[in-house]
Amino acid sequence: MSNPLESKMDFLIQSFQAALFGYIDIRDPLAVGHQLKSKTGDLLDGEPLVLPIPLDAPPEIPRLILKSKDDVHSCNVSPERIDLFYREKQPTKNGLIYVTSTSHGFYLYPKA
């Protein structure tokens, strides 16, 4: 007999966002951008965009935006958080994942 609290489904991921919270010293946004680009390899291979934001602007406003050349991956950096984005332009079967929902949470893994 199957567990009524467990269900399974297939779907395509078209976009994904992850946020990391903390204090980011972004007084030198180009140095921060260089560090992020070196840690992510070729993932964020586009030109960095440094936004001319006043020092007294709200800390949640991004000061630096990094993107991949194909515009699928991007990263927004503000003094309080780093947002990482994945946006698939044309989802294919390669993006198919399997999701299991249980009473403990959701589990995502690639479809074999």
Question: Domains of the chain: which residue ranges?
Answer: 14-90
* pLDDT score of 97 more than 70: no
Q: What is the pLDDT of residue 55?
A: 82
Strand partners, 18: 84
* pLDDT score of 68 more than 70: yes
Q: What is the pLDDT of residue 16?
A: 82
On whether the pTM is more than 0.75, the answer is no
Q: Report CA-CA distances (Å) from 57 to 27, 51, 63, 81, 107.
A: 13, 12, 10, 14, 38
Mean pLDDT (whole number) for 32-61: 91
Residue-averaged pLDDT of the chain: 80
* pLDDT score of 56 more than 80: yes
Confidence of residue 81 (pLDDT cuts 50, 70, 90): very high
